Structure 1
């Protein structure tokens, strides 16, 4: 920016005007400090940005003119400048500088100059001379693939019409250079050329050529340490979490060089020494050696120092907890090797909000304003004596508790999950639990839930609590596909997970459906060539609105058709119809803790057979009734995000029981069994009698069924999560003479999507094998399955959560306990990916390799690869 004073020749008294101006503006006297250009032919131009403001003279502004290459109107530019006719101002002075700043900050102009054209008494006339910044006309990008061009434009915001400034060119170049260096292209170079567009258009425009030379991807060939004697090179390299040398068998950590990660890893090396008692260890020097265009080596010199041990540890300032209590929480004893990292974690572990440390001991009992600081008071003979100085402060109480960000979900749905109430003693554990409960609702982006502490008042002992949430789509279109039961199985459903049934008759509430009360409503259609299923379900998580008691109900109907082996199609004249209804209650318990849920359900199903003869039982025309009671106990304390849990566990054990009819119905089942065993089923009369016996045995189903499933989540690193799981199921009979029923059985193998019937059967996924291939045709009465899954997130944004996984699993199905062997299982391994989108639920694909042959299919070698496409289901 520059401020210029231009005095134009108006009459023969030019010399007198110059002398007068020189007397008022002593700029000409200081040629060593300012540049002065005198144009005696037509004008005198004075550069005056260095003039002291104190020497300025007051003038009244006359007319202001605008000149230069600009498409903006004169009035628009004058308005931008803040100058106006009739305004009194000093020249030179702050007003002129402010006008130039305003024009410059608009980011519309360049070469901004302000001139005095002439002066009449105390009236000064100004001219603003400037040029428009050029707009981007066309952009050409060289050096990247066509598919990446749009991404570069989006990242750099180089859209047509953007103003091209020096700052834009610099930031674009720096951004792209850093971007490619982060990807391992350490020698990347970016060049930008602009070419002026010359045409009749008044707007200044330029074409831009963006040349990107990423060069070769640079990897770390070796990491060499010098000066280390106590810790080996291998130990130090292992402490570097993100900086790794080339290793062909390593998959998750790549060997590219990223400077920011490298600097962080140098600190990790020092931390490694501190963990082993060498608190004075430091990095003496480090350097990057370029081997060639593709590889570098890192050379790091360390000074290990001497090893220290813990001495006396004294607590000062504690009144709420005794020294013994704090010592038990610290769990560090005199004489142990000094570990500064462990010490800090035991005092305040920043990596875990619910860590078992001294800070949380105070924070969970109201002492929000407490502080705990370890101070080294002595280090004689390498023995460090510590004082842990505690400032407890006053207990804090919640004053106001509020929610922001919920546009669809009603306030009462959120407030009933909040564990922090106005007037309640502050507890960090309750804040952490509230965040977890809000995330588990599924209505909000779990990664964006933020507890904000407002208006802390240590003197009064109060704090305002605000929970910030970001809503996501809670309604889903369910699309599910897979192969099972002899053909393709498709599912179409609508699931409204934040429904409001009380507004169902309010016309204004349909946007597009009544929402906000946290209820769930689902309509579902599932079909293949061999069956059709229709179902409706509804659940209210807080029945009555005062307690977390969930009420649920469902109604369903399915029609199955018998497979015709001659043509491979469904025989529509032979059908099996099932109609069912279920009512359930689930209550959150307080003992042993409030993560436990006790669930109960009563269900009834009616099975009608129409010429439906299979190997399950002898009668093909008849019916069966299934009245059962299910009780379950579960505990789920997984971390905030239900789609990608990183910690905690979930287990559930259920028992499904029928009434023991054989105790009181007066039927001689032992005699019926003996008679049945003596029948010749190849004889038509005997077969008819067998059908009558089966009809009597299965008129009312009698059974008990036990299921267990447990999952555990462990965060190995910041992103990597290990998920082991185990499952077990058993179907039994009260009366062995009556026998195990042909319904409610387990079908193991495949993607788990083959659960097309409502006869109580369960399809258990075991990847690497075809659907239901690991059970008999009639299903098993016992099964177990073990799985180990390693997950890594690609993105956890609300619009789409994506993570990759690898798995090892095994399982088997059995017909009785005589054959049961939990170690005789079919094994598999593979890779997969999951994508969760709020509108469609979970999508995924798995590639599994079965290590064992399927003897039932005549295989003698490993089964090999199977591909499983998953829509709407999570393992």
Structure 2
């Protein structure tokens, strides 16, 4: 072998140089179309270029895109050809791009550009995902028809799907993607995606190492979103999500910092796979030493002295070191209205202030701080503007703003302005955005623009319910941003004059047995300068006589009945003390009660009139917000007292004698009515009835009473947008003269959905779900007929708790779910009143608010106690009741 090799080498040496050149020339001419080498190049004139391999693209389009022109000088091989190939690859439309030299003649070179197109996506089929979610996946991954199928598209789609479900706790999620040629199109392929999510991986155990100072239970509590599997856990699931876990590790360090361990850190974290569905987390911590606050000195402060700043900071020398608390007391980013040092300055005009805590020494276990303050220049508002109010006039908005040009900048005033705008109901409270513009620390000025989105403020009220033996329907039109000054301007009807913030409402409520008409007008800023609300209302109620036939059908006699005509005017003024959330209101009203051969059972005259002149004074405080529809904070309470003049004090009538005479005649009437035996007794019966009617009309010609009501609502945000609403109500109807007794009107009817708030007799219909309408109103025995009748309570109380969570708060529709606990009751007199004798209920519900139709909802309530109807006594709990809420305000 060695000899053969030597002979070969000697043979090669004998090849002459001209023979070598001839061999190289022949090799270069074999297959002239082979790919050109890039090791060297020669200049030519481009004689022509041919594009091959195209299936869906136009040849001329590709030639134009290359930028090569016939007749241009080109180096082969060279940078021009390399640039063209790179440019075409960058389109990601082709799976192969190659440039060939086909021939050279007369200094011209002819090229062939060979392209292999990528296949086009014709359709996508996804398995393992619910049908309603498939389109969202296609949109997120951009798997549109006509999309070029590339390796990166497939890899990105696979990665997106697996990461998506891993973030939801499906750590074993796997995705496979396959493509197949689709003969229905040119160079097209279909794609099949198979997603196997598997089961959610739960955290079966969380183990801590190195925690001597804080118990594992306390550390587990600090992990807000990473929870160990427990059979009773339903609010926070025990799934492992990487991003949440990393965030919780920071919270873990904060938990140590709150207890003084400022050097605490997480040394390592691992999870151990128990099986396909369970993992265990192991977290190793280093706690370090416990520290305490030493001296805290303020540097750079001139606006506030050290005593004020120390009081707001709320941290004293010797307190356990708490880094989280220190940060919050300097600037609490979680609460825009927090009582911290930053807000202290920013609420007093110092927008450009900065406050930084600095550790100046750490000796043993004590840390001294300097709170370094740069106060900056006092800042004033230059321009205050609003945008987005297409319907509402500017003056309606500006009068509610607490930020005026020339005032000191105040963050608190901006927050309050947002609330006031949200409470108007004319704008989407979720989208009110105050933009701080053009801040100039040199001149000390800043501009504010409030960006608004108009919301539907007018409503069509369609309300329905069943009561009084028939269907009760309501039709109402409420224009809540009305403009009465433009009522005679035809061009302002779109569809009605709007923009001045006034309220104009028309309402019709009717059933077979009654009708109610009402008109209401309200101007919130009477005179335009101060927040004094003027209200004027008129109402007319008609109640017809009715009874049930032998077939159980209700029969109505419209020739018999009674009517109430009422008119009232009121003023309500926003006051500044104790704070500017308070409003004092006054109203004066008159009601005329007319009876036509109709006795309602509460008193014994069926023909005649009664009158009532009333004065109502109220004190309310409303700080709920930011939205009227879904308040998340604040409170709303109202106490009102309604009085009539004490006519009996100066009328000169002996009401005791009138009352005694009524009692005597009623007793005799009852005796005769039980067993009339002679014509004389029947005649006496009729005479007694007429006498009693005359006496009753005399007793109640001018109604006198007082009525006190209280209602309070408190809103507390618990977690995220989970809101707790607590409510307490109380009402009492009293009289001045025991000889006259309680008036038959203005009473309280408790139980049911709270609908039917018609002004039939001035009654208050109180919602208590889980019971039928008015079924918690006490029944009494009529002294004459001996029949059980429902006159309405003279005292009631009610308590409720609601957990609310919004599903959406969009302007088009706000939807939230709720769960409630309620308890309440009504009583015939104060002697029977027991605030702890309550009828209890619980349930769930749903509310939908649409601007054009108001509030719609449904509640499913379970009453735990029996109601007060005679036929219910002894029959056990009220049980499940369904309540439809249509048109009821929030």
With the shorter chain as reference, the TM-score category is 0.7 to 0.9
Segment drifting more, 850-859 vs 318-327: 850-859
Name the CA distance, whole Å, in 1 between partners of 2:612 and 2:442. Answer: 66
Within a 5 Å distance, the mapping from 1:83-122 to structure 2 comes to: 109-110=93-94
Instruction: Tell me the CA shift for residue 867 of structure 1.
Output: 2.4
Equivalent residue number for residue 387 of structure 1: 370
Within a 5 Å distance, the mapping from 1:609-624 to structure 2 comes to: 609-624=595-610
Q: 1:179 to 1:317 in 2, by over 3 A?
A: same
- Tell me the alpha carbon deviations over residues 798-838 of structure 1, each in whole angstroms, 9 at most, x when there is no partner: 34333332222211111221111211211222223323333
Within a 5 Å distance, the mapping from 1:775-786 to structure 2 comes to: 775-776=777-778, 777-786=790-799
Equivalent residue number for residue 258 of structure 1: 241
User: Are the counterparts in 2 of residues 112 and 128 from structure 1 also a CA contact under 8 Å?
Assistant: no
User: Are the counterparts in 2 of residues 479 and 490 from structure 1 also a CA contact under 8 Å?
Assistant: yes
Structure 1 residue 145 corresponds to structure 2 residue 135: no
Aligned partner (choices 334, 339, 344) of residue 327 of structure 2: 344
Segment drifting more, 844-853 vs 310-319: 844-853
Structure 1 residue 414 corresponds to structure 2 residue 397: yes
Instruction: Tell me the CA shift for residue 299 of structure 1.
Output: 1.9
Structure 1 residue 440 corresponds to structure 2 residue 449: no
Structure 1 residue 826 corresponds to structure 2 residue 839: yes
Structure 1 residue 639 corresponds to structure 2 residue 625: yes
Aligned partner (choices 364, 373, 380) of residue 347 of structure 2: 364
Name the CA distance, whole Å, in 1 between partners of 2:29 and 2:536. Answer: 94
Aligned partner (choices 279, 299, 302) of residue 316 of structure 1: 299
Name the CA distance, whole Å, in 1 between partners of 2:70 and 2:481. Answer: 61
Secondary structure at 1:633 match in 2: strand
Instruction: Tell me the CA shift for residue 223 of structure 1.
Output: 1.9
User: Are the counterparts in 1 of residues 291 and 321 from structure 2 also a CA contact under 8 Å?
Assistant: yes
Equivalent residue number for residue 197 of structure 2: 214
Name the CA distance, whole Å, in 2 between partners of 1:470 and 1:871. Answer: 26
Equivalent residue number for residue 864 of structure 1: 879
Segment drifting more, 156-165 vs 342-351: 156-165
- Tell me the alpha carbon deviations over residues 429-478 of structure 1, each in whole angstroms, 9 at most, x when there is no partner: 11111111122222222222222222221122121212222333323333
Secondary structure at 1:739 match in 2: coil
Q: 1:291 to 1:515 in 2, by over 3 A?
A: farther
Aligned residues: 831
- Tell me the alpha carbon deviations over residues 233-291 of structure 1, each in whole angstroms, 9 at most, x when there is no partner: 21111122222222333332222222222222221111111111111111121122232
Instruction: Tell me the CA shift for residue 714 of structure 1.
Output: 1.9
Instruction: Tell me the CA shift for residue 76 of structure 1.
Output: 7.1
Segment drifting more, 799-808 vs 593-602: 799-808
Aligned partner (choices 712, 718, 721) of residue 719 of structure 1: 721
Equivalent residue number for residue 612 of structure 2: 626
Instruction: Tell me the CA shift for residue 315 of structure 1.
Output: 0.8
TM score, norm. by length of structure 2: 0.85
Aligned partner (choices 594, 597, 607) of residue 608 of structure 1: 594
Name the CA distance, whole Å, in 2 between partners of 1:751 and 1:414. Answer: 36
Q: 1:327 to 1:571 in 2, by over 3 A?
A: same
Equivalent residue number for residue 763 of structure 1: 765
Name the CA distance, whole Å, in 1 between partners of 2:648 and 2:721. Answer: 55
- Tell me the alpha carbon deviations over residues 186-232 of structure 1, each in whole angstroms, 9 at most, x when there is no partner: 32223333334333x56x54433232222112222222222212221
Q: 1:283 to 1:693 in 2, by over 3 A?
A: same
- Tell me the alpha carbon deviations over residues 80-138 of structure 1, each in whole angstroms, 9 at most, x when there is no partner: 88999999999977999699779967x9x445969699999999999988788766533
Secondary structure at 1:237 match in 2: helix
Instruction: Tell me the CA shift for residue 156 of structure 1.
Output: 5.1
Aligned partner (choices 569, 579, 586) of residue 583 of structure 1: 569
Within a 5 Å distance, the mapping from 1:172-183 to structure 2 comes to: 172-183=157-168
Equivalent residue number for residue 11 of structure 2: none
Equivalent residue number for residue 178 of structure 2: 193
Name the CA distance, whole Å, in 1 between partners of 2:692 and 2:830. Answer: 27
Segment drifting more, 534-543 vs 670-679: 534-543
Q: 1:131 to 1:739 in 2, by over 3 A?
A: farther
Equivalent residue number for residue 26 of structure 1: none
Equivalent residue number for residue 514 of structure 2: 531
Structure 1 residue 679 corresponds to structure 2 residue 665: yes
Q: 1:670 to 1:38 in 2, by over 3 A?
A: farther
Instruction: Tell me the CA shift for residue 756 of structure 1.
Output: 3.7
- Tell me the alpha carbon deviations over residues 385-409 of structure 1, each in whole angstroms, 9 at most, x when there is no partner: 1111111111111122222333333
Name the CA distance, whole Å, in 2 between partners of 1:383 and 1:325. Answer: 24
Q: 1:102 to 1:311 in 2, by over 3 A?
A: farther
Name the CA distance, whole Å, in 2 between partners of 1:603 and 1:349. Answer: 50
Equivalent residue number for residue 434 of structure 2: 451
Name the CA distance, whole Å, in 1 between partners of 2:174 and 2:759. Answer: 62
Structure 1 residue 489 corresponds to structure 2 residue 506: no
Q: 1:624 to 1:129 in 2, by over 3 A?
A: farther
- Tell me the alpha carbon deviations over residues 520-577 of structure 1, each in whole angstroms, 9 at most, x when there is no partner: 3333333334333333333232233322222233333333333423334241334333
Name the CA distance, whole Å, in 2 between partners of 1:475 and 1:99. Answer: 64
Secondary structure at 2:841 match in 1: strand
Instruction: Tell me the CA shift for residue 641 of structure 1.
Output: 2.0
Equivalent residue number for residue 459 of structure 2: 476
User: Are the counterparts in 1 of residues 854 and 889 from structure 2 also a CA contact under 8 Å?
Assistant: no
Q: Which runs of 5 or more structure 1 residues have no equivalent in the other structure?
A: 1-36
User: Are the counterparts in 2 of residues 561 and 570 from structure 1 also a CA contact under 8 Å?
Assistant: no
User: Are the counterparts in 2 of residues 587 and 597 from structure 1 also a CA contact under 8 Å?
Assistant: yes
Secondary structure at 2:275 match in 1: coil
Name the CA distance, whole Å, in 2 between partners of 1:729 and 1:592. Answer: 25
Name the CA distance, whole Å, in 1 between partners of 2:463 and 2:73. Answer: 76
Segment drifting more, 236-245 vs 559-568: 559-568
Secondary structure at 2:479 match in 1: strand
Decide which structure has the larger Cα Rg and report it.
2
Name the CA distance, whole Å, in 1 between partners of 2:136 and 2:652. Answer: 77
Q: 1:145 to 1:690 in 2, by over 3 A?
A: same
Q: Which runs of 5 or more structure 2 residues have no equivalent in the other structure?
A: 1-26, 671-684, 779-789
Q: 1:673 to 1:397 in 2, by over 3 A?
A: same
Equivalent residue number for residue 6 of structure 1: none
Aligned partner (choices 537, 540, 565) of residue 554 of structure 1: 537
User: Are the counterparts in 1 of residues 332 and 338 from structure 2 also a CA contact under 8 Å?
Assistant: yes
Instruction: Tell me the CA shift for residue 593 of structure 1.
Output: 1.6
User: Are the counterparts in 1 of residues 821 and 840 from structure 2 also a CA contact under 8 Å?
Assistant: yes
User: Are the counterparts in 2 of residues 484 and 772 from structure 1 also a CA contact under 8 Å?
Assistant: no
Equivalent residue number for residue 24 of structure 1: none
Within a 5 Å distance, the mapping from 1:267-282 to structure 2 comes to: 267-282=250-265
